């Protein structure tokens, strides 16, 4: 084995992928009641936003 000074074994964790359903992984938010679509707000999940048209809580649409 090598005699390097590092403690790890080359399996860095890195920043990883965004979690499913978070704003970073989402292209759009959609209203389940009226079908209106809007872009997510920075740092706020779709499920915490309300539809501009009818006020219902939005859902996440990936893709």
Number of domains present in the structure of the chain = 1
Residue 1 lies in a domain: no
φ/ψ (deg, to 5) at 61: -125, 120
CA dihedral (47, 63, 18, 30) in degrees, to 10, reads -10
Neighbours of 60 (CB within 10 A): 18
- pTM, two decimal places: 0.55
The per-residue pLDDT string of the chain (63 residues; one tens digit each, 9 = 90 and over) reads 566 676 666 666 656 555 554 445 547 999 999 999 999 888 899 999 999 999 999 999 886
> Per the domain annotation, does 34 fall within a domain?
yes
Give the CA count within 13 Å in the CB-facing half-sphere of 35.
Answer: 0
- Residue 3 inside a domain? The answer is no
Q: What is the predicted pLDDT for the residue at 46?
A: 93
Report yes or no on 5 lying in a domain.
Answer: no
Residue 9 lies in a domain: no
Q: In which domain, by residue range, is 35 found?
A: 23-61
**4 falls within a domain:** no
Q: Is residue 50 part of a domain?
A: yes
């Amino acid at each position: 084995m090598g005699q390097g000074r590092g403690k790890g074994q080359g399996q860095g964790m890195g920043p990883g992928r965004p979690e499913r359903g978070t704003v970073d992984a989402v292209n759009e938010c959609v209203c389940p009641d009226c079908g209106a679509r809007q872009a997510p707000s920075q740092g706020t999940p779709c499920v915490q936003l309300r539809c501009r048209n009818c006020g219902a809580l939005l859902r996440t649409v990936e893709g």
